[in-house]
Amino acid sequence: MENKYRKDFPFFKAIDENEAGENKGLIYFDTAATAQRPFIVLNAMTHFYATENANPLRGLYSLSERATMAYENARDTVAKFINAREAAEIVFTRNASESLNLVAYSWGLNNLKEGDEICVSIMEHHSNIVPWQMVCKKTGAKLVFLECDKETGIISDEEIASKIGPRTKIVSIVHVSNVLGVTNPVKKLGEAAHAVGAIFIVDGAQSAPHMKVDVQEINADFFAMSGHKLCGPMGIGALYGKRALLEEMEPFLRGGEMIEYVTREKATWAEVPHKFEAGTVSAGDAVGMAAAIRYIQSIGLENIEKHDAELACRIIEGMKNIPHINIIGPKDGNKRCGIVTFTVDGVHPHDVATLLSEEHIAIRAGHHCAQPLGQYLEQTATARASLYFYNTEEEADIFLEKLSHLREWSGYKD
């Protein structure tokens, strides 16, 4: 079946028209790491740098004012995308990792003390573990892990009740696991956090590109996201934070643009959100991120979610018919958010990725920046195919056909 969106991407258009050079015939199954970019995003960034390029926010001439307007319009687009109450609740960062670090440094270090607890899940990306380890080390707080069912990835109500309690001050949870593909019950987890007076943080790096997110509906205090995973440029992300919390927080970075007034003795800060955006901002990337959001909205998040599930189901059902393939996490493609993680008996995941690369299929292999989950599942490494709306049934079938030969290519006689 033809995929009408592929022509929107220079990467896929070149492949489909046999003009891809080194990428000729490539099947790209690594969107969970980074998505490809459509023409509309690249054109928006080119237009900004060609016609609106000036340092935003401080200039009093018309070109700088246009650059400022483009930057702030991008902020408004992000705010509406996740249903923030106002654009001022959106802080531009480099990526979701920086967003989480901002909260750890600006809120965590200033509000936690010895005996307090920070609750995360065992399936977190390192970006939602390492900053909290730092906070615990500096404050004497304790890091507590919610464990999931090893087969389904589900965090039980009993686990939530036993781990989130009176000492919990922060609950920081990944919305969609980048390994298991499961969608965590963030609304329920947020309610548990708020019931004990804790703040609730959601890592939305994998969820925002694949499903409709409403930060008010899930009542997140903070929500982190990256532009490059939703067809935007690398080097731009966003942190949503409730205004009352952002107002009381100290800046994470200090310097130009984020100040109100500076004397020899002290400085005062600009209004939210600008007090968190030190230095010259990445306005062109913000414009690109906004263009990417508008593009995927034009496709429809509900259509993207449906397509991801159908393709994941096709691959998982096909895997079930191939001997020696082990699916890691849920066996239902409808619960994978387009992420299919697996191992092959006797073939190291790195070799799986290398052999498939020789067949012009790009997947990821390793610990996926989630080593505690790998240790919990007793898997030092896994292979991962991650899908998006620009992938096709034909690609899925080719992938499965090549997968069926991996053990043979590795010297096994099944």
Decide: 108 and 324 in contact? Cβ < 8 Å.
Answer: no
Q: Which two tokens stand for residue 369?
A: 């920046």
Decide: 118 and 167 in contact? Cβ < 8 Å.
Answer: no
Q: Which two tokens stand for residue 360?
A: 């012009």
Cis? peptide before 273, omega within 30° of 0: yes
337 is catalytic: no
- Rounded distance between C-alpha atoms, residue 180 and residue 191, angstroms: 24
Q: Which two tokens stand for residue 73?
A: 């319009």
Place of tokens 């949503």: 240
One of 136, 231, 337, 369 is an active-site residue; which one?
A: 369
Active centre residues (catalytic): 369
